[in-house]
Structure 1
Amino acid sequence: MTKLTFDVAIIGGGLTGLTAAVFLARAGKSVVLFEKEEQLGGLAQTTEMNGALFNLGPHAMYEGGAALRILKEIGCVPEGGYALKGSMIGILSGSLLDVSADLTYEESQEWIKVMAHLNKIDTESIHHVSLQEWLDTNIRLRRVRLLFQAMCRQWSYCSNMKGLSAGFVIKQGQLASQGVFYIENGWQTVVNSLKHEAVKAGARICTDLQVKQIIVKGAGVDSLIVADETEIVTKSIVSAIGPQELCNLLADAEDMSLGKWKNASYPLYGACLDVALKQLPYPEHVFALGLDQPVYYSKHSGPVKLSDNNTQVLHLMRYNDDKSMRNTQRDKEELLQLLDLLQPGWNKEVTALRYTANAIIAHDARTISHNGAGPALTKVPEIAGLYVAGDWVGDEGRLADACMASAKAAAENVLRHV
């Protein structure tokens, strides 16, 4: 067996692992990163299809969120643009509801009041309150409540209103109100920039190479074994993968904090339909949310370029909560019906279409069971030298924000102990 020695080994080559690699390599540590897939990026990958650039479903960063803040710190802020502020469309009982025109006067006044008050809400005081309880207490009219619930589903990627932390979700809404940022030419540009910075700082990046086992001796990390039977000797490992995947690499993980963290997590899944059209039959239909069904529609082209042939890229999604084994054909038909409703005649304009069933969206929803946060620690208490980061760790943000904030925190924790 070949043996190699590094100060730090990182498992996972998505935004989390690459961010940690940049900070650790710039601090002068010898770093190796392993990604099991051929392509880096994880959930932030971008795929080209017939000239269109498809992210894995709808992706955006929030102005004021951790991801953009950390990318500025690293020095690789992507080019991009902000989501259009057109009229929101709700979908209720299979029909379109234009929020700016179709609400009653009373509904319109309550909706304006709710959204105007959004940034004044003290979210810290309601982390333990379910979103359903908050909605029932603060919004009187049914359609207004459904509208706000749909916005919360978009901010959280979760449809479990009774389980979601109101404080966490509304904090996401406050960030979204500062600006929703789309990335020019897709999220792979961010992945590539982070890889460039990590390699420039001296990190070694290994793709298509899966970690098989983490070896612990005494009370600390000793090494890890990868699929080509290489042994990486190290005293520090940053796990940038999900809690279940990490537990699979460790003996007795179920009896540790890791097992408790995994069992407390609430993974989220979704069905995604990505579509490129030569032109939009109804260009005024830019953004829509289901009010009585957990669905989303948005046009991401326009603020940014997502094709090399001027096609328009649309993303549709069904939020499936923690249900990873839904009827995939039924979900696809539901999203196609949504597209028929918003862009009738779209099939005459289509140049590329991709459907992704049962995709994992996040490894944890922020529920009231742990006050809207993941594990507060990036260091595994029972194993010296083992650190965790990802969308399920910490209490800052959602998806990319959570990934990059926890990656930086984990890297700082490593540097304090190496």
Structure 2
Amino acid sequence: MPEKEDNPDVVVIGGGLAGLTTAALLAHAGKTVTLFEQSSREIGGRARTSIDNGYYFNQGPHALFLADEGAKILQELGISYTGGVPPDTGLGIKDTKKYRLLTNSSSASMTPVSSPGLTDVLSQFFDLLNKPDFKDLENVSVQEWIERNFHDADAIAIVNALIRLTTYGNDPDIQSAGSALHQFHLYTLGGVMYLDRGWQTLVDGLLASAKNAKAKIVMGKKATRVQRSSSGWIVTLSDRSQASAKIVVIAAGPNEVEALFHEDEKPQALLNAVKEAKPVRMACLDVALSSLPQKDALFALGIDSPLYFSVHSAYAELAPPNGALIQVSKFLGTSTKSNPKEDEKELEELLDLMQPGWRQVVVKKRPLPSMVVSNALVTAANGGLSGRAGPKIEDGLYVVGDWVGHEGLLSNGSFASARRAAQLIQKELSEASRGSGGKLSISDSLSS
């Protein structure tokens, strides 16, 4: 007989942001929670930060939207962090030339060229964002919305670039305009923060919050199967032990979730969500320098190419004194086949343009040639965020992550789905214990 683990109220599978947030919220609400993380050494998923000679390497470019759900939930849990908010300044890159993109970026050493009509384009774009919500545009593609409102080719390219910047998506023909514009609107409300010592600070804070509330964290045990039992659910683990619980929450990507069920046991709602999921990917190059050759070249965005350059260490504690940590990336479309060698060459050429001389002061380069930054693009065909699967798959079974729920893109989708799942789980457990309808312990006012 397989060894039995404890019998908590809730088993959480996966120790990324969504899993840790779910565990912390439920544990603080007085539920018994056990979280299983497959790694024996690291926790945090794509929010992990590795340290090398005083440089803090996130998994590609990470920015916390200060007006979105993630920041609110972290505050609710009492998790503190520090960092810097980059200004709305920077350069646009077009035809390998640099010009002013946002507000007052200027530099004699960079000699930016002017962009005719840019101020008018940005003014019109921000005016169009001045509305309470964008639900009426959930079924409209980004490309369709842009072409409705902008007719100059340069204006269309600039607006596409700004949407790429805040959503990490590069599929304007299928991406939902409603969700994309809402994301940019959040950026205008609060900006973003680059975090001191990387996103590991959030991981460590969530882990400590969960443990302090008596959640049990089990490392080095991978879930291999989830199946229903007479009293709830059974989770089989990589060491052949089993854990039973009334509720199971799976915090993983679509394919990983589907793989936990035998073929004839896969819930239809889950299969539908997995079928529609188109992962959002980036080709990233994280570069540590002993010094920054061009002190004033801190941000650039590709206009005629889907490129991104930012010196994150200029605003957050991510490098030793005088050192610099640069994030260079290429936004890949969901149907784009990555070419790691060519993509890395293109990113290094962007570094040559922005930081000539960087090769002489490089400490470390870390390529991430096809990193998944979100498990599912929010598409117009599926109705935008409102068409995304909710966290409750069926009684006792929940899924959380950046591809789940009707709120939030990227990490904010992970945070928001975790909170919604925690609310629904408390309701389900309360109803089960009383045999009738119950009320939520966490306010349901933010649910959808």
Measured against aligned partners, the alpha-carbon deviations of 1:290-332 in whole angstroms (never above 9, x if no partner) come to 1121111111112211123441111011111225852211111
Structure 1 partner of 2:3? 2
Shift of 1:105: 4.4
Is 1:44 the counterpart of 2:47? The answer is: yes
The counterpart of 1:126, out of the listed 131, 137, 146, is 137
Tell me what 2:312 maps to. 300
| Aligned mate of 1:401, from 401, 412, 422 | 412
Do residues 78 (structure 1) and 89 (structure 2) align? no
Q: Which of 217, 228, 235 is 2:246 aligned to?
A: 235
Q: Does 1:290 align with 2:293?
A: no
| Structure 2 CA distance for aligned equivalents of residues 194 and 302 of structure 1 | 26
Letter in 2 for 1:248: A
- Do the aligned partners of 1:9 and 1:237 also contact (CA within 8 Å) in 2? yes
Aligned partner of 1:54 in structure 2 is 57
Paired residue for 1:348? 360
Residue of structure 2 aligned with 1:141, choices 138, 144, 152: 152
Once the two structures are TM-superposed, the CA of residue 253 in structure 1 deviates from its matched residue by 5.3
Contact 2:33 2:215 in 1 (8 A): yes
**Could you tell me whether the CA contact under 8 Å between 2:390 and 2:406 is conserved in 1?**
no
Report the residue type matching 2:222 in the other structure.
Q
Check whether the contact 2:21–2:206 (CA below 8 A) recurs between aligned residues. yes
Tell me whether 155-164 or 29-38 shows the greater mean CA deviation.
29-38
Write out aligned runs for 1:10-409 (5 A). Answer: 10-37=12-39, 38-86=41-89, 88-99=90-101, 102-120=113-131, 122-177=133-188, 178-217=190-229, 221-251=232-262, 252=264, 256-323=268-335, 326-373=338-385, 375-381=388-394, 384-409=395-420
3-state SS, counterpart of residue 250 of structure 1: coil
Distance apart, 1:255 and its partner CA: 5.9
Q: Secondary structure at the match of 2:314?
A: coil
**Higher mean C-alpha displacement, 125-134 vs 301-310:** 301-310
Structure 2 counterpart SS, 1:380: strand
Normalised by the length of structure 1, the TM-score is: 0.95
Structure 1 letter corresponding to 2:201: T
Deviation at 1:376, TM superposition (A): 4.3
Distance 1:354 1:230 in 2: 37
The one-letter code matched in structure 2 to 1:78 is Y
> 2-side partners of 1:408 and 1:122: how far apart?
21
Secondary structure, aligned partner of 2:197: coil
Where 1:119 maps in the other structure, the secondary structure is coil
- The count of aligned residue pairs is 414
The answer on whether the counterparts of 1:51 and 1:309 sit within 8 Å (CA) in structure 2 is no
Runs of 4 or more consecutive aligned structure 1 residues displaced over 6 Å after TM superposition: none
Measure, in 2, the Cα distance between the counterparts of 1:285 and 1:75: 36
- 5+ residue gaps, structure 2, are 104-111, 430-448
Q: CA RMSD in A?
A: 1.8
| TM-score normalised over the length of structure 2 | 0.88
Kindly provide the CA deviation profile for residues 211-259 of structure 1, in whole angstroms up to 9, marking residues without a partner as x: 01002236x7421011111110111001111111111001235561100
Q: Does the CA contact (< 8 Å) of 1:247 and 1:253 recur in 2?
A: no
Q: CA deviation at 1:93?
A: 2.1
> Would the alpha carbon gap of residues 132 and 330 (structure 1) be closer, same or farther in structure 2, given more than 3 Å must change?
same
CA contact (8 A) 2:97 2:113 kept: no
Shift of 1:280: 1.8
User: 2: CA distance between counterparts of 1:310 and 1:396?
Assistant: 40
Instruction: State the Cα distance separating 1:289 from its structure 2 match.
Output: 1.2
Q: Measure the CA separation in 1 of the matches of 2:151 and 2:113.
A: 18
Pick 1 or 2: higher relative contact order, CA cutoff 8 A, min separation 6. Answer: 1
Structure 1 contact 45–56 (Cα < 8 Å) conserved: yes
Q: Deviation string for 1:71-108 (max 9, x for gaps)?
A: 0000013112211332x211212222323664454343
Distance 2:201 2:295 in 1: 27
Letter paired with 2:66:
E
How far did 1:113 drift? 2.8
Contact residue 298 and residue 314 of structure 2 kept, 8 A: no
Cα pair distance change 1:95/1:270, threshold 3 Å: same
Gaps of 5+ in 1: none
Distance 1:195 1:312 in 2: 29
Q: Matched residues in 1 for 2:383 and 2:260: separation?
A: 28
Q: Which amino acid aligns with 1:390?
A: G
**1:45-71, Cα deviation, whole Å (9 max, x unpaired):** 101122210101110111210010000
CA contact (8 A) 1:44 1:56 kept: yes
Equivalent residue for 2:435? Answer: none
Cα distance change of structure 1 residues 253 and 126 upon mapping to structure 2, 3 Å threshold:
farther
* Counterpart for residue 439 of structure 2: none
Report deviation, 1:395: 2.2
1:126-182 superposed Cα distances (whole Å, 9 cap, x missing partner) = 111110011111112221221110110111111110101111101110111121111
SS, match of residue 369 in structure 1: coil
Query: Would the aligned equivalents of 1:50 and 1:352 in 2 still touch at CA under 8 Å?
Result: no
Q: Is the 8 A contact 2:99 2:115 kept in 1?
A: no
1:339-385 deviations in Å (ceiling 9; x for gaps): 1111111111222221111111111111102221253421113xx21
Tell me whether 139-148 or 236-245 shows the greater mean CA deviation. 139-148
Given the superposition, is the C-alpha separation of residues 341 and 121 from structure 1 closer, same or farther in structure 2, using an over 3 Å criterion? farther
Per the alignment, residue 438 of structure 2 pairs with: none
SS in 2 for 1:159: coil
SS of the equivalent of 1:16 reads helix
